């Protein structure tokens, strides 16, 4: 019996917001070709004797090809992408003959150009656990991969992952695995531009740990690092996946909340303080982590870039720190 026309649109992974944020933080979408990715697709095409090999990045509504051999297109809709299905798996997605697969038999990439029959794609995972895209092979005739070929494709995918990780680490704080100053500013500027276009509110919170030098002096720098990692974990838990959180350096952290009302921001801050108090009570390290914070509402007229917003929030944080000192 012929299969009904029920092309399966790939579902979104549970961590989609965090995944998209990680992808955009790489600043790779719509970038120029790079030899470090192109050599992998050339190698894959030659080793597996396929007409098409790709490094894909799966964006909100499209899959974009960071590297592409054997295909003229630079992107396709995510709804018809094979790679949208591949990033839902932890291992290889292998389609021996797309015409015989109920997910793809009536897919326009199968029924028309490039006439996909065979697809093999490994999801590309960065250290934060987000699957950003694939290294994949495409053929216009049905085929299979034996165990040795699968292992070889996995090795190539791991090389692609290493290249993505190198890009990500340039914008990530190695100690806390939050965005570093560079990464935060890139992500925050994207978010502010979207808020300006859509007339949505945004709030920047600028945190500075109190008496952090004292922790280093009394307990050593390793314990100081533990305090920084603990505070980073608290921020990660307290804020939403859609919020942009980063460590600017030293004991300074920032969080940009987009589309949040004053009530929501207040609720997030209350949750943060509650989680931090729980950590302080259970860790028994001989000190408590405390912070000063500056809170600034985004004003599109005044804050024409993220640096202006950071400067205002830094000043507000300093005022809060001085006020706390006067109380003590």
Q: How far apart are CA 218 and CA 20, in angstroms?
A: 41
CATH architecture for the domain at 181-327: 2-Layer Sandwich (3.30)
The neighbour count for residue 12, using CB atoms within 10 Å, is 16
Percent of the chain past pLDDT 70, that is, above it, reads 98
* Topology given in CATH for the domain delimited by 16-169: Beta-Lactamase (3.30.450)
172 or 307: which leads in pLDDT: 307
Percent of the chain past pLDDT 90, that is, above it, reads 77
What's the pLDDT at 227?
Answer: 97
Question: Which residue intervals of the chain are DSSP H helices?
Answer: 16-25, 35-48, 83-86, 108-111, 147-169, 181-198, 212-219, 221-238, 262-283, 306-327
Question: pLDDT tens digits for 82-114?
Answer: 999 999 999 999 999 999 999 999 999 999 999
- Residues in CB range of 71: below 8 A, 6 or more apart: 52, 54, 65, 114, 138
| Cα R_g (the chain), whole angstroms | 24
> What are the structural domain ranges in the chain?
16-169, 181-327
Question: Which residue intervals of 10-146 are DSSP H helices?
Answer: 16-25, 35-48, 83-86, 108-111
Question: pLDDT tens digits for 51-75?
Answer: 999 999 999 999 999 999 999 999 9
Question: pLDDT tens digits for 272-283?
Answer: 999 999 999 998
Confidence band, pLDDT 50/70/90 cuts, at residue 267: very high
The pair of three-digit structure tokens given for residue 320, joined into one six-digit string: 């809060």
CB 306 within 8 A of CB 192: yes
What's the pLDDT at 4?
Answer: 52
Answer whether 0.85 is exceeded by the pTM: no
Alpha-carbon torsion 53, 187, 31, 76, what sign? positive
Q: Examine the pLDDT at 1 and tell me if it is beyond 50.
A: no
Q: How far apart are CA 250 and CA 22, in angstroms?
A: 23
């Amino acid at each position: 019996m012929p299969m009904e026309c029920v092309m399966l649109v790939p579902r979104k992974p549970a961590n989609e917001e965090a995944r998209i944020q990680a992808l955009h933080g790489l600043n790779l979408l719509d970038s120029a070709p790079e030899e470090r990715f192109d050599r992998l697709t050339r190698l894959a095409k030659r080793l597996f004797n396929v007409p098409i090999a790709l490094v894909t990045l799966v964006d909100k509504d499209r899959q974009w090809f960071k590297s592409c051999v054997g295909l003229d297109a630079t992107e396709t809709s995510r709804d018809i992408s094979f790679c949208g299905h591949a990033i839902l798996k932890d291992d290889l997605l292998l389609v021996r003959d797309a015409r015989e697969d109920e997910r793809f038999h009536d897919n326009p990439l199968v029924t028309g150009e490039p006439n996909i029959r065979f697809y093999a794609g490994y999801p590309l995972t960065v250290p934060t656990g987000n699957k950003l895209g694939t290294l994949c092979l495409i053929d216009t005739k049905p085929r299979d991969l034996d165990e040795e070929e699968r292992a070889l494709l996995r090795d190539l995918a791991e090389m692609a992952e290493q290249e993505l990780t190198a890009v990500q680490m340039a914008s990530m704080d190695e100690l806390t695995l939050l965005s570093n100053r560079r990464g935060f500013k890139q992500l925050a500027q994207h978010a502010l531009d979207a808020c300006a276009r859509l007339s949505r509110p945004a709030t920047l919170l600028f945190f500075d740990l109190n008496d952090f030098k004292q922790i280093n002096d009394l307990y050593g720098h390793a314990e100081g690092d533990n305090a920084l990692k603990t505070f980073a974990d608290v921020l990660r838990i307290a804020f939403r996946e859609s919020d942009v959180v980063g460590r600017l350096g030293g004991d300074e952290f920032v969080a940009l909340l987009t589309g949040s009302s004053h009530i929501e921001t207040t609720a997030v801050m209350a949750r943060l303080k509650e989680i931090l108090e729980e950590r302080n009570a259970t860790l028994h390290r001989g000190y408590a982590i405390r912070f000063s914070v500056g809170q600034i509402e985004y004003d599109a007229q005044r804050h024409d870039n993220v640096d202006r917003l950071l400067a205002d929030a830094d000043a507000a944080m300093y005022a809060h720190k001085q006020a706390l000192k006067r109380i003590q």
